[in-house]
Amino acid sequence: MRLNINDRTVEVLLSEETLRQRVAELGAQLSVDYAGKDLVMLVVLKGSMLFAADLCRHITAPLSMEFMGLSSYGDSTETSGEVQVTLDLTKPVKHRDVLIVEDIVDTGLTMRYLLKNLAAREPASLKVCTLLEKPERKRVEVPLDYVGFVIPDHFVIGYGLDLDQKFRNLPFIGRVV
Ligand code: 5GP
């Protein structure tokens, strides 16, 4: 389906209902896997905020949330892998069960940086939950423990993901055509 939004044609790739169902499944799986653990959802801003807000409501295990802001140097559609922390955690995660909640793993460079940064803080466990994975663009191997959807090599927007800071509020994921 194609829609006209802000003078752009956007093709829907993952509908609101498709996202809702998969996020519920991930939440159910995480509820089992993190039962009895000390879960810290580490939400990577800004792109993961909608995903994290929906996901946390499907997790029955007790959890706390921390946020990390990252900016990567590079052009608007590709990261350089040089990452700067713009907002850091407010509490130590030492000996806690950290789950990184990310919107998309593209080249993997940002995730590689994050995993190294967080591992240095000595959590009890460190896992990754990403809504989207684009394997065709992978440049480095990173372990992805939970993946919502594997997608082809399109630049996608909506459900938290932006194009020049816009379109984050779309309830679906689409691509500008
Ligand atoms: P990576 O370091 O894996 O190449 O890229 C990770 C970051 O690049 C993501 O967290 C996201 O902010 C951005 N990114 C990668 N692919 C896309 C995309 O298709 N759409 C949008 N909006 N951002 C993307």
- Could you identify the atom of ligand 1 that is nearest to the CA of residue 47? 12
Q: Which of 79, 105, 156 is the best mutation target for the ligand 1 pocket, counting ligand atoms within 8 Å of the beta carbon and taking the most?
A: 79
What range defines the domain where residue 89 resides?
16-153
Three-state DSSP state, 1? coil
Roughly how many angstroms between the first and final C-alpha of the chain, as a whole number?
12
166 located within any domain: no
176 located within any domain: no
Three-state DSSP state, 134? coil
The structural domain count of the chain equals: 1
Q: Is 133 in the pocket of ligand 1 (CB under 6 A)?
A: no
The pLDDT tens digits for 94-128 are 999 999 999 999 999 999 999 999 999 999 999 99
Q: Which two tokens stand for residue 16?
A: 């609101």
99 located within any domain: yes
The pLDDT tens digits for 43-86 are 999 999 999 999 999 999 999 999 999 987 666 566 667 788 99
What CATH number did the domain enclosing 91 receive? Answer: 3.40.50.2020
Q: What is the pTM of this model?
A: 0.95
38 located within any domain: yes
Q: 78 CA to middle of ligand 1, Å?
A: 7
CA-atom Rg of the chain in angstroms: 16
Q: Is 130 in the pocket of ligand 1 (CB under 6 A)?
A: no
